[in-house]
Amino acid sequence: MTDNDPNSTPGTRHPRTGFDLAEADRLLKTTKQVRRRLDLSRAVPHDEILECIDVASHAPMGGNLERNRWMIIEDPATKQEIAERYVAVGAPYLDGHSQATQDQRAERVIESGKFLIEHLADVPALVLALRLDRPPPAEALGATAAYYGSVLPGVWSFQLAARARGLGSAWTTFHLEHEADVADVLGIPPTVTQVCLLPVAYYTGDTFSPAPRRPAREVTYLNRWKQPVEPPGDAT
């Protein structure tokens, strides 16, 4: 184990693939959106980020077209320009939600979101995920799914690759309401779409706990809407 995670259960190699399933699942379940535990004092070498992008480029893409692009933003003044747009949208959103929620888990996410509002410009690297072309019209559902489905899997792969290297990141979209302004700041042409901004830094501490999630059987249907998948042994 590289980071002493108590969630680790070593030694369950899949007989055919050779993957250590416990390790693979640990990566998938403990890759969290990291905000408060971003180490703002430690620079992230470009090579680390490029490695994560190399991994991300293996995510599926419609038509196998490599139309995704990335930008690393570490210039302080540029980060500040982005942070201002991020705060303008995020602060009122989170304030509204913190008044509305009684749920402790939701409250923790909101508090963590507020931390990022205050510190976005201090995060060592902002990684912007981009796609060439503009999205199809909203009513073209299939085309929209294919458009975003060709770039967002790479974002998650990036986060997984980063986590495996001790880097935390958080999926953010608040600044996108000011996408055109930010494009202007970064010299991005109007034919290109920003899909997600990932603040990236080494994380502090060693462990992450998986969030509680509903079990697969509760959210999976067999052959027909709402028809359950039979419990083991019940299949005829």
Main-chain phi, psi angles of 58, to 5 degrees: -90, 0
Q: 7 exposed, middle or buried (CB, 10 Å; 0-12, 13-18, 19+)? A: middle
- Binding of residue 170 to ligand FMN (CB under 6 A): yes
x/- letters, 178..217, toward ligand FMN (CB under 6 A): ---------------------------------x------
Which among 228, 171, 166, 153 has a CA at the least distance from the CA of 201?
166
Q: Which is nearer to ligand FMN, 150 or 172 (CB)?
A: 172
Q: Which is nearer to ligand FMN, 160 or 228 (CB)?
A: 160
Question: Whole-number minimum distance, CB 17 to ligand FMN, in Å?
Answer: 26
- Report the half-sphere exposure of 178 (CA within 13 A, side-chain side): 17
Please, which of residues 102-161 interact with ligand FMN by CB under 6 A? 109, 113, 116
Can you read off the two tokens belonging to residue 27? Answer: 């990566």
- Binding of residue 33 to ligand FMN (CB under 6 A): yes
Q: Which is nearer to ligand FMN, 128 or 189 (CB)?
A: 128
- Binding of residue 174 to ligand FMN (CB under 6 A): yes
- Binding of residue 173 to ligand FMN (CB under 6 A): yes
Separation CA 209–CA 207 (nearest Å) = 7
- Report the half-sphere exposure of 117 (CA within 13 A, side-chain side): 16
Binding site for ligand FMN (CB under 6 A): 32-33, 109, 113, 116, 170-174, 211
